[in-house]
Structure 1
Amino acid sequence: MDDEYDYESLGSNTTMAHNALAGALAGIAEHCAMYPVDSIKTRMQVIQSSKPVALVSPLSATATATATATITATTISNPLQIPASTIRSTHSNLWRGVTSVVMGAGPAHALHFGTYEFCKDFLGANKDGHQPLASAAAGACATLAHDALMNPFDVIKQRMQLKDSVYRTVRECARQVYTKEGAIAFYVSLPTTLTMSIPFQSIQFATYEYFRKTLNPSGEYDPKTHVIAGGLAGAFASSITTPLDVIKTLLQTRGSHHDPYIRNTKGLVEAALIIKERFGLKGFFRGFRPRVLTHMPSAAISWSVYEYFKWILNARLSN
Structure 2
Amino acid sequence: MQMFNSPYRSVVDCMGSLLRREGPAAFYRSYTTQLTMNVPFQALHFMTYEYLQELLNPHRQYNPSSHVVSGALAGALAAAATTPLDVCKTLLNTQEAQAIHVIQAEAATAAGAVGAAASSRHISGLGEAFRMVYRMGGMPAFFKGVQARVIYQMPSTAISWSVYEFFKYIITKRQHERRLRGDRDGDK
Which of the five TM-score ranges fits, normalised by the shorter chain? 0.7 to 0.9
- For the residue of structure 2 that corresponds to 1:161, the secondary structure is coil
CA contact (8 A) 2:76 2:153 kept: yes
2:61 matches 1:203: no
Which consecutive unaligned segments of at least 5 residues does structure 1 have? 1-159
- For the residue of structure 2 that corresponds to 1:219, the secondary structure is coil
Structure-1 separation of matches of 2:44 and 2:4: 32
2:23 matches 1:182: yes
Structure-2 separation of matches of 1:308 and 1:298: 15
Instruction: Name the structure 2 match of 1:282.
Output: 140
Instruction: Name the structure 1 match of 2:109.
Output: none
- For the residue of structure 2 that corresponds to 1:254, the secondary structure is coil
Structure-1 separation of matches of 2:41 and 2:120: 26
Give the CA deviation at 1:161: 3.1
Give the CA deviation at 1:310: 2.5
- For the residue of structure 1 that corresponds to 2:96, the secondary structure is helix
2:122 matches 1:264: yes
Q: Which amino acid aligns with 1:303?
A: W
Give the CA deviation at 1:316: 4.2
Aligned-residue Cα RMSD (Å) equals 2.0
Number of matched residues?
160
Alpha carbons of structure 1 residues 262 and 285: separation in structure 2 relative to 1, 3 Å: farther
Structure-1 separation of matches of 2:74 and 2:142: 21
Which consecutive unaligned segments of at least 5 residues does structure 2 have? 102-118, 179-188
Alpha carbons of structure 1 residues 263 and 208: separation in structure 2 relative to 1, 3 Å: farther
Instruction: Name the structure 2 match of 1:253.
Output: 94
Match of 2:6 among 161, 165, 180: 165
- For the residue of structure 2 that corresponds to 1:220, the secondary structure is coil
Instruction: Name the structure 2 match of 1:308.
Output: 166
- For the residue of structure 2 that corresponds to 1:175, the secondary structure is helix
Q: How does 1:111-190 map to 2 (within 5 A)?
A: 160-190=1-31
Deviation track 1:157-200 (CA, whole Å, cap 9, x = no partner) reads xxx23331232222221111122222222222121112221111
4+ residue stretches of structure 1 with deviation over 6 A?
Answer: none
Structure-1 separation of matches of 2:71 and 2:99: 39
Q: Which has the larger radius of gyration?
A: 2
Q: How does 1:8-157 map to 2 (within 5 A)?
A: none
Instruction: Name the structure 2 match of 1:108.
Output: none
- For the residue of structure 1 that corresponds to 2:61, the secondary structure is coil
2:150 matches 1:292: yes
**What TM-score, normalized to structure 2?**
0.76
- For the residue of structure 2 that corresponds to 1:285, the secondary structure is coil
Instruction: Name the structure 1 match of 2:77.
Output: 236
